[in-house]
């Protein structure tokens, strides 16, 4: 089979790495990919993965590429092409593609849609309201005593959520979104939630329109600095499994969210095929969904796919074909840890084009995989091109082993200005 993966981050390198192991794949492209994706080769025939210089949002050019090269399956990594309707466009052109349609992807592309859906179908979530009028929005913030998550409705590069703990702060956040339009038209509406307290975990389920198979838990580290300080980022590291829920609790939390969600989708005619990734806070009153994402998490994918024992192609095809009820997901019991190495200054402005060294040495380490994110090849060098540069991932018999291996690999890699958190998976160690 010939497979095309869309995207260029760490998530997409992990998807490519795992798909390349499939004995059924004879050609694999990544559009646009990074230096890491271009370095993978196929288990079936030793061929290298080919990067294709087309952005994941350039849908016309992608459809054109598909017409010329006839991929048997296209796999969508990021949220933006989903929101732009890449799945609908590929299907209309007669191509098989994995991911939710534009309408189904509203679970991520519209927080107002998602929140209303949760409320309609009794999915446990925060107390919330949706507003386009700043006066009404501020009144709701006062009812919540200013302890709010004030969110832009649409996609805002992960930056459209303002957490507040006082009424003036909350009112300012409402103005920022609805009046100053800091997030453009993504902020035509705001979703305001009560501020939830408790540990946050990531859930993932793969869906085929009627069946949703739950993954183990993972935990991201969203703030830039150790101790959950600093600015919100795309994610500075993950580990899986977490120690917050035992398997029976995970099953029960998963069902409390997924059963009403899937019933609601069927009732409303939403044929959701892809990953549903609920962000969940475990509050004293039970688990509550903060938001739904309609794709794999990044860097959650890096720890999930280093634990998944199935052929990923089988799983993705079953999701497209509506046959997930015949699949049993199998996970290595070994925990996996991913430490993100980022460019100095991220998530603010940062330099690009810094040469990365030590990758060859890191590649020799056992039970370790260096996933590339913001990297490119420049002559024979691998250089930085993004905020999140590498997802240094390792696994082992215990969380402590996995973590030590990941940090050992981090120590072998250098680039000017590199920053990373030193406390990835520490919450897991404290609890185990
Ligand atoms: P979101 O884009 O909705 O995931 O929000 C980004 C981050 O803000 C989440 O990962 C949480 O850490 C935090 N957050 C969002 N909503 C809430 C909430 N209602 N209470 C507390 N924290 C929240
Ligand atoms: N891990 C955060 C995200 O993928 O949205």
User: Over the stretch 309-351, which tens digit does the pLDDT of each residue have?
Assistant: 999 999 999 999 999 999 999 999 999 999 999 999 999 999 9
CA–CA distance, 136 with 150 (Å, rounded to integer): 13
C-beta of 220 in contact with ligand 2 (< 6 A): yes
Q: What is the number of the ligand 1 atom nearest to the C-alpha of 111? A: 3
Asked whether 280 and 287 are in contact (CB, 8 A), the reply is: yes
Q: How distant, in Å, are the alpha carbons of 217, 218, 292, 316 from that of 204?
A: 8, 9, 10, 14
Atom 4, ligand 2: residue with shortest CA distance: 297
The pocket around ligand 1, CB under 6 angstroms, is made up of 126, 149, 151, 161, 163, 193, 195-196, 200, 222, 279, 290-291
Query: Could you tell me the distance, in angstroms and rounded to a whole number, from the CA of residue 166 to the centre of ligand 1?
Result: 16
Q: Does 293 contact ligand 2 (Cβ within 6 A)? A: yes
Inter-residue contact 274 to 104 (CB < 8 Å): yes
For 300-313, give the secondary structure using H, E and C: HHHHHHCCECCCHH
Mean predicted lDDT score pLDDT of the chain:
97
Mean pLDDT of 242-253: 94
From the alpha carbon of 290, which atom of ligand 1 is closest? 16
Say how many Å lie between the CA of residue 129 and the centre of ligand 1. Answer: 15
pLDDT at residue 157 in the model: 75
* Residue 156's pLDDT band (cuts 50, 70, 90): confident
Ligand 1, atom nearest to 220 Cα: 10
pLDDT greater than 80 at residue 367: yes
pLDDT in tens, 412-421: 999 999 999 9
């Amino acid at each position: 089979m010939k497979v095309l993966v869309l995207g260029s981050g760490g998530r997409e390198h992990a998807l490519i790495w795992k798909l390349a192991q499939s004995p059924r794949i004879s050609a694999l492209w990544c559009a646009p990919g990074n230096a890491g994706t271009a370095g993978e080769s196929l288990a079936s025939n030793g061929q290298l993965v080919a990067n294709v210089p087309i952005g994941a949002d350039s849908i016309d050019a992608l459809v054109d590429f598909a017409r010329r090269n006839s991929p048997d399956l296209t796999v969508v990594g990021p949220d933006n092409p989903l929101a732009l309707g890449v799945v609908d466009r590929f299907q209309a052109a007669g191509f098989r593609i994995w991911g939710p349609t534009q309408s189904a992807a509203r679970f991520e592309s519209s927080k107002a849609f998602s929140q209303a859906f949760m409320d309609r179908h009794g999915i446990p979530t925060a107390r919330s309201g949706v507003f386009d009028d700043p006066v009404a929005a501020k009144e709701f913030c006062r009812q919540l005593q200013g302890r709010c998550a004030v969110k832009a409705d649409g996609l805002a590069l992960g930056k459209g959520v303002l957490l507040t703990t006082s009424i003036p702060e909350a009112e300012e956040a409402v103005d920022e979104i609805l009046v100053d339009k800091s997030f453009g038209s993504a902020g035509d509406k705001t979703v305001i939630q009560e501020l939830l307290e408790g540990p946050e975990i990531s859930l993932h389920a793969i869906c085929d329109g009627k069946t949703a198979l739950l993954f183990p838990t993972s935990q991201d580290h969203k703030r830039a600095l150790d101790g959950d300080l600093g600015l919100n980022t795309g994610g500075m590291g993950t580990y899986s499994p977490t120690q917050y829920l035992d398997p029976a609790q995970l099953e029960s939390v998963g069902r409390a969210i997924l059963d009403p969600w899937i019933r609601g989708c069927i009732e409303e005619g939403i044929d959701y095929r892809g990953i549903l990734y609920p962000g969940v806070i475990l509050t004293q009153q039970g688990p509550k969904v903060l938001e739904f994402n309609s794709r794999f998490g990044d860097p959650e994918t890096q720890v999930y796919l280093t634990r998944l024992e199935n052929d990923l192609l089988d799983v993705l095809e079953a999701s497209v074909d509506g046959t997930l009820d015949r699949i049993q997901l199998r996970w290595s019991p070994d925990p996996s840890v991913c430490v993100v190495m980022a460019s100095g200054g991220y998530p603010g402005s940062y330099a690009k084009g810094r040469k990365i060294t030590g990758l060859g040495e890191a590649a020799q380490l056992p039970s370790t995989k260096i996933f590339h994110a913001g990297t490119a090849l420049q002559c024979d060098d691998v250089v930085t091109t993004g905020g999140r540069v590498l997802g240094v991932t390792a696994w082992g018999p215990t969380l402590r082993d996995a973590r030590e291996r990941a940090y050992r690999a981090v120590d072998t890699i250098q680039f000017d200005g590199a920053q990373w958190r030193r406390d990835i998976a520490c919450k897991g160690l404290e609890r185990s």
